Amino acid sequence: MILVEGLRVTYQTAGGPVAALGGVSFRVAAGETCCVIGSSGCGKSTLLSVLAGLIPDFAGKVLVAGAPVAPGRRQTALILQDYGLLPWKNVFANVALGLEIRKVPRPEREARVNRLLRELGLYEYRRLYPAQLSGGQRQRVAIARALALEPDLLLMDEPFSSLDALTREALQESLREIWTRTRCTIVLVTHSIEEAVFLGRQIIVLSPRPGRVVAALPNPGAGRQDWRRDPEFLRLCSFLREKLAVGAAAPGTAAAGRR
Ligand SMILES: Nc1ncnc2c1ncn2[C@@H]1O[C@H](COP(=O)(O)OP(=O)(O)OP(=O)(O)O)[C@@H](O)[C@H]1O
């Protein structure tokens, strides 16, 4: 579903060029989940923006579903940290928005939206407005809105980072259930080791900027409901923590000097 080869992104700024990604390569098979993790500023959001077709200026090869990545691919959905809901529309209307724009007939629209609202525990809130919802509920609405369009690729940029630990786990579980049902390909950027290990059937660890792949870990246990309670889950979390510490200690950094 995704092929990234030798991806480099350099931003031109007033202070000179800033290399964000320094040659990133990986693949994600269709129907799989992939979590991208790395220290702040290592280029995770840049990578996701490239996959969403939002950054046309890059070097290297990026294919989505076999075609060069391009803006406006209809089956790609992007979910950001700040929800992006329309404050003047209620929950139902926010979720139905994309379907309305695509002129999906009303009965089908209502059926699809109601099903998602039930699945994400939002049905009883369908007439409320975003300002009347908690952060977790707003993020659920954002997820429902993206899923209403039945994407084959779901890109998520730290979607749960502003939520408390329990809400975050509940949303991770909802996402796991949705993935089990739809089997859409998911690429999720996160700072959380536990989140990466719970959701990512492949985990890409990036080095500090310019981001490069430090490790690509297979994680076939992810996607199982009881995975969090498996001893292997904890082992992988520790392993990932070490990988991140080593990655953070890039040559010439203070962390490297301490080793
Ligand atoms: N539009 C831009 N113009 C110039 N530099 C940018 C731009 N966007 C990002 N950068 C720089 O590129 C680097 C990578 O940024 P990016 O947002 O991709 O990192 P990140 O890993 O997602 O960070 P975080 O985890 O803090 O969200 C950073 O040094 C950032 O300052």
pLDDT range class, residue 192, cuts 50, 70, 90? very high
Give mean pLDDT, residues 161-184. 89
CATH superfamily, with its number, for domain 2-75+151-249: P-loop containing nucleotide triphosphate hydrolases (3.40.50.300)
* Predicted local distance difference test score (pLDDT) of residue 248: 65
Name residue 203's beta-bridge partners: 35, 217
Q: Does pLDDT of 211 surpass 90?
A: yes
pLDDT range class, residue 243, cuts 50, 70, 90? confident
Distance 20 CA to ligand 1 centre (A): 7
Which residues contact residue 110 at a Cβ distance below 8 angstroms, ignoring those fewer than 6 apart?
A: 96
pLDDT range class, residue 249, cuts 50, 70, 90? low
Distance 188 CA to ligand 1 centre (A): 16
User: Using CA atoms, how far apart are residues 171 and 141, in angstroms rounded to an integer?
Assistant: 11
Residue 114: exposure state from Cβ atoms within 10 A (0-12, 13-18, ≥19)? middle
Supply the DSSP string of 132-190, one letter for each residue.
Answer: GS-HHHHHHHHHHHHHHT--SEEEEESTTTTS-HHHHHHHHHHHHHHHHHH--EEEEEE
Kind and range of the H or E element at 49? Answer: helix 44-51
Which residues contact residue 143 at a Cβ distance below 8 angstroms, ignoring those fewer than 6 apart?
A: 79, 120, 159, 171, 174, 175, 178
* Predicted local distance difference test score (pLDDT) of residue 238: 94
Three-class SS state of 76: strand
pLDDT range class, residue 185, cuts 50, 70, 90? very high
Compute the mean pLDDT over every residue in the chain, rounded to the nearest whole number.
90
pLDDT range class, residue 256, cuts 50, 70, 90? very low
Q: Where are the domains of the chain?
A: 2-75+151-249, 85-150
Q: pLDDT digit string (tens) for 43-62?
A: 999 999 999 999 999 999 99
Q: Does pLDDT of 257 surpass 80?
A: no
Q: pLDDT digit string (tens) for 25-46?
A: 999 999 999 999 999 999 999 9
User: Using CA atoms, how far apart are residues 137 and 163, in angstroms rounded to an integer?
Assistant: 10
Q: Is the peptide bond before 210 cis (omega within 30 degrees of 0)?
A: yes
* Predicted local distance difference test score (pLDDT) of residue 252: 44
Q: Nearest residue CA, atom 1 of ligand 1?
A: 11
As given in the structure block, the two tokens for residue 177 are: 């259930």
Q: Nearest residue CA, atom 28 of ligand 1?
A: 41
Give mean pLDDT, residues 96-105. 91
Residues with CB under 6 A from ligand 1: 11, 13, 18, 20, 38, 40-46, 209
